[in-house]
Chain A
Amino acid sequence: MSLLRVTDLKKHFPLKKGFLSRTTSLVKAVDGVSFELKEGETLGLVGESGCGKTTVGRSILHLTEPTSGEILFNGQDISRLNPGARRELRSSLQIIFQDPFTSLNPRMNVGNIIAEPLRNRRKLSGSQRKERVAWLMQKVGLRPEHLSRYPHEFSGGQRQRIGIARALALNPRVIVCDEPVSALDVSIQAQVINLLIELQEEFTISYLFIAHDLGVVEHISDRVAVMYLGRIVELASYEEIYENPQHPYTRALLSAAPIPDPDLRRDRILLQGDVPSPIDPPSGCGFRTRCPQAKAECRELEPRLCTVQDSHWVACPFVRQ
């Protein structure tokens, strides 16, 4: 059974102009995204900047209110819950942010940062809370005696560990990881990825792992969803995505990633031009303006995600052979 089920999620940001602030157009950041996340699973969400992957993550937590769509957690529709119940549910849904330099309050010491969710959501005595904070710090590889230090005294990797400890504090079932390692150096990135894997195995947490680095996503994910211009264009297991990519965008994306092997010579699919603006996306298939296989029909056809094999989904009508 799926722990989290997202159906036809949309988030449109209005663009306001003029004296009366009339809405003149819509930025369709997320435009009909559906997926599910199973218990203990990692779903990777990849795409280039502006494809809406971060907005998907934030909408799930209701950090931005989705325009429409249904988000079921454990069978409950989050958007229909009253504020109190929603807050309760949020302890099961946590997030780790991209930038370890701006996502921690510089005026709070580490102990208080990690204890804050406990203070808000759990009725613990002072000593119990302290014990829990020390335990959490140990779990993420921080020294508990650094409890009273402030974020600026830590390196980027350690700050990301603080963010992870804070997300872990309330025993969440799902953690949205929004580019958790992209601000880190390679050697530190490996440490944080390994930590996330260890924690997942120990506590059976499901991750929605948002990143632009295909290598990282392929490495940590069980299944991978590829997004382009607010929509999922392909969704499959990590092996399938890498070995048998079907959507022309996935193929181009995979072939564009530089691989640290000087002997590897690949036929690179070079996409022309830039990603179109989500304010005025192309009609029909969003990718048709850059697609090497675009046909005349792509102007009209709105591709839907369809299975090509069991649990391999592609949103392109021309790959269904």
Chain B
Amino acid sequence: MTSIDDDRKCMKPLLTINNLVTSFHSQEQTVRAVDGLDVSVRQGETLGLVGESGCGKSVTALSVLRLLRCPPAEIRGSIVFNGRNLLDLSREEMRRLRGDALSMVFQEPMTSLNPVLTIDDQLTEGIRLHRGASRAKAREMALEFLDMVRIPDARNRIREYPHALSGGMRQRVMIAMALSCHPELLFADEPTTALDVTIQAQILELLAQLKDELGTSVVMITHDLGVIAEMASRVVVMYAGRVVEEAPVRDLFKDPRHPYTRGLLGSIPVLGRRKSQKDRKLQEIPGIVPDLKNLPSGCRFHPRCPQKMDVCERQDPAMIRLGEFRAVTCWLEAEV
């Protein structure tokens, strides 16, 4: 993990997302999965994108990589990567970028590899396409990458099909594949959620090391605040398609400003924090995440918020900058 001071040194934004709106059209209605998102990723940092299911964190990644079928999806706003707005690129230009400078690791190592192609086929595809390498050269590079992600006996494993590998091994192959063309930016969408704790620890360690070695910027998408605390230098918390808080990782955990962030932190049973036999009740956030088809008026969190005020029901709060790296979308901060 990089400290915030390290972070200040590498200030140049690599990716700037402005007012991103991703909506899905169906015959009956339109649902906005991401609704006015502003996020930037700086060179060399690991940005954590955290939130519960349906908050729009995965859709954000899929929008940036333009992996959503349009229609039914519609992506508006601007996504500037290395000075170019990705939304203006042609499909062919986008295809050249994907897997090269911009890459992604998916959540399910079981379903995101092609079951009828060998590891060799899948791993060399990107290298041959983007680097124009020959089959033999691409295979050499692929083997190097399998060594790098610590797959034992890579020379034999490369000939196997995904089903012959365990979940942890498959996720290593996915990471090798995503990093095979030295991307500048990697989206890791819940890369360890489907894995066991001891395997998760291996994969997180590996990701952190490779990130440092290759100088890749990472956007880590997860619902697990433990993973965030370990990996991210900066965190963006999302709720119902919007950013509710943005902060350096330490500030977020020590001084969360949004009631939702506070609720989220309070509701996790933290290992080793249970003090007495009696003290078992967890802090809970009442209610459930709103349905995107039927959003509450005003602030989207107000029906569940313990600090709700009158204004919260009537008016949507704007994002308030509290500092260079801190922002919160809440009326509580607007008053001060």
A interface list, Cβ under 8 A from B: 48-49, 155, 157-158, 185-191, 193-194, 197, 212-216, 218-220, 222, 238, 242-243, 252-264, 268, 270-271, 274-275
Interchain CB contact (< 8 A) of A186 among B52, B168, B250, B281: B52
In chain A, what residue has the closest Cβ to B265? A260
In chain A, what residue has the closest Cβ to B205? A270
A-B contact pairs, 21 of them (CB 8 A): A187-B289, A215-B268, A215-B271, A218-B274, A219-B274, A219-B280, A222-B277, A238-B274, A243-B272, A254-B271, A258-B201, A258-B204, A259-B270, A259-B271, A260-B225, A261-B253, A262-B230, A262-B253, A270-B201, A270-B202, A271-B198
Q: Would you call B202 and A190 a contact (CB within 8 A)?
A: no
Q: Would you call A190 and B253 a contact (CB within 8 A)?
A: no
Q: Would you call A242 and B271 a contact (CB within 8 A)?
A: yes
Would A260 and B223 be within 8 Å (CB), given that A185-B289, A187-B284, A190-B282 are in contact? no
- Chain A residues near B169: list those with CB within 8 A: 274
Of B227, B269, B286, which is in contact with the most chain A CB atoms at under 10 Å from its CB?
B269
Q: Would you call A187 and B229 a contact (CB within 8 A)?
A: no
In chain A, what residue has the closest Cβ to B249? A262
Q: Would you call A186 and B201 a contact (CB within 8 A)?
A: no
A238 to B52 alpha-carbon distance, docked (Å) = 28
Q: Would you call B202 and A193 a contact (CB within 8 A)?
A: no
- From residue B267, how far is it (CB to closest CB) to chain A in Å? 4
A194 to B229 alpha-carbon distance, docked (Å) = 25
Question: Within 8 Å of chain A (Cβ to Cβ): is B212?
Answer: no
Interchain CB contact (< 8 A) of A258 among B229, B249, B267, B282: B229
- From residue A262, how far is it (CB to closest CB) to chain B in Å? 4
A263 to B229 alpha-carbon distance, docked (Å) = 8
- From residue A67, how far is it (CB to closest CB) to chain B in Å? 25
Of B267, B268, B280, B289, which is in contact with the most chain A CB atoms at under 10 Å from its CB?
B280
8 Å CB contacts to A: which residues of B249-272?
249-250, 253, 263-272
Question: Within 8 Å of chain A (Cβ to Cβ): is B228?
Answer: yes
Would A260 and B229 be within 8 Å (CB), given that A185-B289, A187-B264, A252-B198 are in contact? yes
A259 to B288 alpha-carbon distance, docked (Å) = 25
Question: Within 8 Å of chain A (Cβ to Cβ): is B154?
Answer: no
Question: Within 8 Å of chain A (Cβ to Cβ): is B320?
Answer: no
In chain A, what residue has the closest Cβ to B200? A256
Question: Within 8 Å of chain A (Cβ to Cβ): is B224?
Answer: yes
- From residue B199, how far is it (CB to closest CB) to chain A in Å? 7
In chain A, what residue has the closest Cβ to B225? A260
Q: Would you call A48 and B198 a contact (CB within 8 A)?
A: yes
Question: Within 8 Å of chain A (Cβ to Cβ): is B1?
Answer: yes
Q: Would you call A257 and B197 a contact (CB within 8 A)?
A: yes
Q: Would you call A260 and B288 a contact (CB within 8 A)?
A: no
8 Å CB contacts to A: which residues of B162-195?
166, 168-169
A191 to B304 alpha-carbon distance, docked (Å) = 13
B interface list, Cβ under 8 A from A: 1, 52-53, 166, 168-169, 196-202, 204-205, 223-230, 249-250, 253, 263-272, 274, 277, 280-286, 288-289
A220 to B271 alpha-carbon distance, docked (Å) = 11
Interchain CB contact (< 8 A) of B269 among A218, A256, A271: A218
Q: Shortest 5 CB-CB distances between A and B: which pairs?
A: A258-B226, A219-B269, A190-B267, A256-B201, A48-B196
With contacts A185-B53, A238-B274 known, what are 10 further pairs, Cβ within 8 A? A157-B288, A190-B283, A191-B285, A215-B271, A220-B280, A258-B201, A260-B268, A261-B229, A264-B229, A268-B201
- Chain B residues near A257: list those with CB within 8 A: 197, 226, 271
Would A187 and B250 be within 8 Å (CB), given that A258-B224, A259-B270 are in contact? no
Q: Would you call B229 and A218 a contact (CB within 8 A)?
A: no
- Chain B residues near A158: list those with CB within 8 A: 288
- From residue B229, how far is it (CB to closest CB) to chain A in Å? 4
- Chain B residues near A243: list those with CB within 8 A: 272
Interchain CB contact (< 8 A) of A185 among B52, B227, B274, B280: B52
Q: Would you call B197 and A218 a contact (CB within 8 A)?
A: no
- From residue B300, how far is it (CB to closest CB) to chain A in Å? 14
Q: Would you call A186 and B264 a contact (CB within 8 A)?
A: yes
In chain B, what residue has the closest Cβ to A157? B288
- From residue A203, how far is it (CB to closest CB) to chain B in Å? 16
Q: Would you call B270 and A260 a contact (CB within 8 A)?
A: yes
Would A262 and B288 be within 8 Å (CB), given that A218-B271, A219-B269, A254-B271 are in contact? no
- Chain A residues near B227: list those with CB within 8 A: 258
Would A258 and B198 be within 8 Å (CB), given that A218-B272, A238-B274 are in contact? no
- From residue A253, how far is it (CB to closest CB) to chain B in Å? 6
- Chain A residues near B228: list those with CB within 8 A: 260
- From residue B3, how far is it (CB to closest CB) to chain A in Å? 10
Q: Would you call A216 and B197 a contact (CB within 8 A)?
A: no
Q: Would you call A48 and B197 a contact (CB within 8 A)?
A: yes
- Chain B residues near A215: list those with CB within 8 A: 268-271
- From residue A239, how far is it (CB to closest CB) to chain B in Å? 8
Q: Would you call B196 and A212 a contact (CB within 8 A)?
A: yes
In chain A, what residue has the closest Cβ to B235? A262
- Chain A residues near B201: list those with CB within 8 A: 255-256, 258, 268, 270-271
- Chain B residues near A213: list those with CB within 8 A: 269
Q: Would you call A155 and B288 a contact (CB within 8 A)?
A: yes
In chain B, what residue has the closest Cβ to A192? B284
Q: Would you call A263 and B271 a contact (CB within 8 A)?
A: no
Q: Would you call A186 and B267 a contact (CB within 8 A)?
A: yes
In chain B, what residue has the closest Cβ to A50? B196
Q: Would you call A194 and B199 a contact (CB within 8 A)?
A: no
- Chain B residues near A49: list those with CB within 8 A: 196
Q: Would you call A256 and B198 a contact (CB within 8 A)?
A: yes
- Chain A residues near B265: list those with CB within 8 A: 260
- From residue A9, how far is it (CB to closest CB) to chain B in Å? 23
A305 to B199 alpha-carbon distance, docked (Å) = 26
- From residue B286, how far is it (CB to closest CB) to chain A in Å? 8
Would A190 and B284 be within 8 Å (CB), given that A215-B271, A260-B229 are in contact? yes
